[in-house]
Each structure stands twice: as structure tokens, then as C-alpha cells.
Amino acid sequence: MQYRTLGRSGAVVSSHCLGTMTFGSEADEATSGAILETFVEAGGTFVDTADVYSGGASEEIIGRWLAAHPSEASQVVLATKGRFPMGEGPNDLGLSRRHLRDALDASLRRLGVEHVDLYQMHAWDAVTPLEETLRFLDDAVTAGKISYYGFSNYLGWQLTKAVHTAAAHGWAAPVTLQPQYNLLVRDIEHEVVPASLDAGIGLLPWSPLAGGWLTGKYERDVPPSGATRLGENPQRGMEAWQGRNDDERTWRVVDALREIADARDVSASQVALSWLADRPAVTSVILGARTVEQLSDNLAAADLVLTEDETTRLTEASAPQVDDYPYGTAGVAQRSRKLTGGR
């Protein structure tokens, strides 16, 4: 396992993070505990959850495991999130001081801890003034309830506005952003990645295997079946089978992954994860698993280093489809200039 700083902070985390959205739903408590143990034994130190995962059950499972494993718990960098509804009332969601106060305290109770290392805003809130949210987070840092804070699913302009608003008021600065990022979903490279690099924000990509597409287990024009996420629900949200099956780019990426994986005698998942962990601004890749076997295979990516040619092949096969301006060739050409001047 490799280790990196958590964005522009002094905290050190493993280059792969354990995502626990499956805990309490797709993974029962015994399986969740085995997944945690496997992750820690492999050198993993970074665990990510959220209050809405399984209605709070994920945090409760993690809390009981940490209490039963105090030695391991002392090395865990613990992250959770707040923002989405945890009740039916009008103040049971959002990024207001009112809701975040209750959400953070509830998360601390479920986790059985007095503070969390990283508290993340799970999505932008267009209703709450940004200053209100950031002041609450600064107060939470001062009170010792959180060490750092970050965001999830923010756009580039939202991230930049938050960074500069915090700086203008002298409040604690954000350190991380959780975006969806993988070989099939690279649109954040247009605005979010540059904004993160500019601010020293560490990226924590979620869905690094694109909902299973980058494992190489799906075949062109063969609808999935069986005990997989798409097998159980082929129309599953952004990962829906039909749309990606019809996109030629999907199969360019999958074919490249399979060929590199076969040549290196590793899994396609490991190749996809290795590519992602090496992207600019990425601090830690979030691994979600339903079984210990899935996690063990994914963790092997920490030791896989792709060659320059392999990286280039994957990057070119997965290149986002964009117009010439502002994100295509014409726009990119204007983002720098030569020093000699003239035509």
C-alpha cells in the first residue's frame, strides 16, 4: 500500500480508501467486519462512510468494529458525510447550520467517537448560503469535532467559490473533494481537476470501476444476469446497461483493459484502478465491495504500476468526446503560450 497526504493537509492516508456504502445492505455485519479486517491487514488506513448509507447502519457497523478493535482503530483515518435526508422534516437535510449540527452529532454517536478526521458535504446545497455552511465547518474544527472537511459531487466553480470564500474569512480550508471518476467518466478533467490542482484539493474518486463495467465481466450485446448490480437491475441509474452497451467508447476501453490485464496476468479491475490512482490530484481511490474476495482483488492494484505505454493506451481509448471549444483541441491550445512571442 502507498500513502499520501490528505490534500493540502498533514494527515497521511492510504492510496486506496475503503468505501462502506454496502455495509448494512449488500454486506451484512459479519461480512462488513471481514472486509474491514482485510482492508486494515493490507495496510489500508482510510475508511469512508456517510450518514445515509443504509439509513445510518453503515456508521453503526463501523463504530462497533472500531470499538472492538482499538489497536487498529488508532490508525484509521475516518471520514463521513452529511447533507441528504435523514428524516421527513424540512430541516432534516441540507447544509444549513441547523441540519449539519444534528447530522454531525448523530454521526458521532453512531460511530462511537468524539470526532471524525474528515467531514464531507455530500452535495451542493443551493438553498443554504455558502458562508453559513463554511462557518459551521470552521466552528466544528475549532470545537474538535472534525479535523478536516471536504466536499462531494461539487462542480469546479462551486469548489473554487468555497475555497476562496473560506480564505476571505480566515476560516479553515477544505482539503478534499469526492467526485465520480473512472475510465468511462472523465468529464471532471475539464474543470474540477484543474480547480482542485489550483487549490491543493485532494480528489477521492468514487465508482472507480464504473459500477462493474471496468471489471471486464460484461460482454457486448449480452444483457447481464445473475448476482451482480446490473444483473439484478439492468436499468440501474448512471450505470444502466443499454446506454453504455450502445456506446462504442465503452468497448474500446474494456478491450484495452482486457488486453493489458491479460498481458500482465492481473485483473481488468486492477488495471483500471492503477490508472486512476495515478491521475493528477488523486489522493485516494474509494473501493466499494460486497465481498472480501472483491476487495482483495481490488487491493492488489496498489502494487500494480502501469508502463507509460499502457497508461497512454488507456488514456487515449477513454478520451472524453468533446467539441473543439472550449474543451477540445482548439480550447486546450489557448491555455498556455510560448515564451518567445510573435507568430
What positions carry a catalytic annotation? Answer: 53
Burial letters 234-256, b for 16+ CB under 10 A, else e: bebeebebeebbeeeebbbbbeb
- The vertex-253 CA angle with 275 and 154, nearest 5°, equals 60
Q: Which residue has the cell 482492508?
A: 39
Bridging pattern class, strands 116-121 and 285-288: unpaired
| C-alpha cell belonging to residue 51 | 450518514
Cα dist from 129 to 94, 162, 177, 203, whole Å = 11, 11, 19, 24
Q: What is the DSSP string of 202-223?
A: EE--B-TTGGGGGGT--BTTB-
